[in-house]
Structure 1
Amino acid sequence: MENQQFKKWLKIIGIPVIVALAIRGFFGVEAWNDLFSVMTVGFLFFGPLLVGMLATYLSDVKKLQNRWYVFFLPWLPIFLFFLITLAFKIEGWACWLMVLPFYLLAASVGGIIGSELKKQKVAKNKKLFVSLFAILPFLIAPIEKMVGAIPGTYDAYTSIDIKADKEAIWRNVTRVPQIQKEQDKGWLTESLGFPRPLKAELNYEGVGASREAIFDKGLVFHEEVKEYEHQKKMRFSIKANPHEIPSTTMDEHVVIGGDYFDVLDGTYELEKLNENTYRLHLYSHFTLSTTFNFYASWWARWIMQDIQNNILQVVKQRAEQA
């Protein structure tokens, strides 16, 4: 009896996992990048939707009476799929963590569809619908590729109040000395394994000046000052050269300056609140080039805000201590 149950669960979980790995392998072939890519809705939504549909479709009809079973069962093959791809370094931790909510939702939708198909009495219709959903990822992705990604520009705004004189604040804005590990409060970027800020160097104060924001793991932002008002405002362009960043630093799908994500500029503005307090604003603009910017922009903004808040709290701490 136990052996029979084990075989049932092996089928319910194992077959969807094998399908997920097969889809990932197919979409990962570089020679087919013009038609298929993991950075498409075809892969990121319809792939897990198929996995979730198979999980419930292969289950016993009696179990499908439980709505919690239908909704959460598809998560099991998804988590197992993620673990396998991480173990074999097919995908990076940061990429999967960001796509996980999207993946789980799609898998649950697929689970509901698979449950309804299983309950149908006409066997011919079942096979037709299963076949249709099985080819959807391979139909949607090429259409996305032909339409092309629509680049979008977004902003990330942050600010902090500092009780210090403007000279001390501005000194720490233009040039940021080495940031120690214990001063780093970027919890989101740390959990995603993103490089942490180390220091920023400016050759002089004024328009045309060059500034380098140096992060660990080999990431460097090359910046040029475009607008400068002493102790009031500094706007600078930002460029990250992907070829300078070691391949082990960031996942290829989220690398800054790559095909999908790039940072354009940043701006510091110092606002006087009262005789003892200033508000330091830091905002930036970045671009995304995916077919699912509606989702990717949330993560990109959170990451940029986490980086900026981390830098602002360092400036605050140092200015107030000074």
Structure 2
Amino acid sequence: MDKSKVTKALIIISIPTLYAILLRLFFGIKTWNDLFSVMSISFLFCLPTIVGALTVYFSSTENVKKFWYRFFVPWIPIFIFLILTLALAWEGWACWLMVLPLFLIAASIGGLIGGYLKLRKKDNKVYVSVLMLLPLLISPVEQSIGAIPGAYEAYTYIDIHAPADKIWDNITRVREISQEQDKGWLTKFLGFPRPLKAELNYNGVGAYREAKFTNGLVFHETVSEYADRKRMVFSIKAYPYEIPSTTMDEHVVIGGQYFDVLNGTYELGKLNDTTYRLHLYSHFKLTTTFNFYASWWAKWIMQDIQNNILQVEKLRAEKE
């Protein structure tokens, strides 16, 4: 391969990758969190867009004329940035998986913007410079507005062919769940802790239980409403200081600055003489400036956890 072409390709990829690394370092400085934060639209949306624009802008006009080039080549520095931040432990695997679709789409949009600037046949250095400074200009404005907390619900249910008392026994006292019984595919893929066991100290209002997960994650639950074999409402609290730092990424830790589970509800309803429908829903809170995106992932994760618990309760109730 022509040496000059290799050098040119390295420049095209290395400049946007270096920009992404420098911006991540800048936004990661703790003492500047009041102005710049990784968990912001300014970072999560602007960074990949600018990376895409730079990748295409520094490319040859011949390549930029190809739509596939403008759309897909900006993904290369994004994946290099992903690998580097994982290797340096700047970000966790779960965090990257959740943000990757957004990064790839934004990088492609940036590639189209970079292509437009490149093909204008004018000196667009000023526009490119302003584009690179955009996150630093809008982040203080975003942080001054602040995150607006939002409450959301994750609803799930399952039909169980067993008597009500058998079902209810497996709700109030969930014996240890083996790895083979764990069917939580999404949480497993993201590397989240899996459920182990949970048991009420008694049946009624004020009862307490610890829902234990792997890697030291514990949900502290207190029953606020109770109707035997019909309905149970319980508050849920996770304390970040109890969770080992290696358990979850700081940006998605439960009970942390951005994500918290508030309460859960079991409801048992009779469908016919042999079948009951068990409902399980929870409420959780998000505190970010991009709740519209984060809420999708949070809901999918909570539904995966709940569906996993429901299938265990169904299996055990029907076997008994």
Instruction: State the TM-score, normalized to the length of structure 2.
Output: 0.99
Q: Is the 8 A contact 1:207 1:228 kept in 2?
A: yes
Of 301, 304, 320, which residue of structure 1 is paired with 2:302? Answer: 304
Q: Which amino acid aligns with 1:68?
A: W
Displacement of 1:310: 0.2
In structure 2, list runs of 5 or more residues that go unmatched.
Answer: none
1:251 aligned partner: 249
| Root mean square deviation of aligned Cα | 0.7
Mapped to 2, the partners of 1:2 and 1:279 lie a distance apart of 67
Cα deviations across residues 216-260 of structure 1 (Å, max 9, x unaligned)?
A: 100000010000000000000000000000000000000000000
Mapped to 2, the partners of 1:142 and 1:96 lie a distance apart of 24
Displacement of 1:2: 2.0
Partner of 2:110: helix, strand, or coil?
A: helix
1:59 aligned partner: 59
Q: What percent identity do the matched residue pairs reach?
A: 64
Instruction: State the TM-score, normalized to the length of structure 1.
Output: 0.98
Displacement of 1:121: 2.0
Q: Is the 8 A contact 1:45 1:102 kept in 2?
A: yes
Q: Which amino acid aligns with 1:120?
A: R
Mapped to 2, the partners of 1:101 and 1:184 lie a distance apart of 27
Partner of 1:62: helix, strand, or coil?
A: helix
In structure 1, list runs of 5 or more residues that go unmatched.
Answer: none
- Equivalence map 1:147-226=2 (5 Å): 147-226=145-224
Mapped to 2, the partners of 1:85 and 1:28 lie a distance apart of 12
Mapped to 2, the partners of 1:88 and 1:156 lie a distance apart of 34
Partner of 1:287: helix, strand, or coil?
A: strand
Cα deviations across residues 147-200 of structure 1 (Å, max 9, x unaligned)?
A: 000000000000000000111100000010000000000000011011000000
Displacement of 1:130: 0.3
2:92 aligned partner: 92
Mapped to 1, the partners of 2:39 and 2:106 lie a distance apart of 15
Mapped to 1, the partners of 2:202 and 2:122 lie a distance apart of 76
Mapped to 1, the partners of 2:186 and 2:29 lie a distance apart of 31
Q: Which amino acid aligns with 1:43?
A: F
Cα deviations across residues 98-150 of structure 1 (Å, max 9, x unaligned)?
A: 00111111111111111110112221xx0111011011111121111100000
1:74 aligned partner: 74
- Equivalence map 1:257-296=2 (5 Å): 257-296=255-294
Partner of 2:82: helix, strand, or coil?
A: helix
Q: Which amino acid aligns with 2:33?
A: N
Q: Which amino acid aligns with 2:289?
A: T
Q: Which amino acid aligns with 2:270?
A: K
Partner of 1:78: helix, strand, or coil?
A: helix
Partner of 2:174: helix, strand, or coil?
A: coil
Mapped to 2, the partners of 1:82 and 1:74 lie a distance apart of 13
Does residue 106 of structure 2 align to residue 109 of structure 1? no
Displacement of 1:67: 0.5
Mapped to 1, the partners of 2:98 and 2:122 lie a distance apart of 39
Q: Is the 8 A contact 1:41 1:140 kept in 2?
A: no
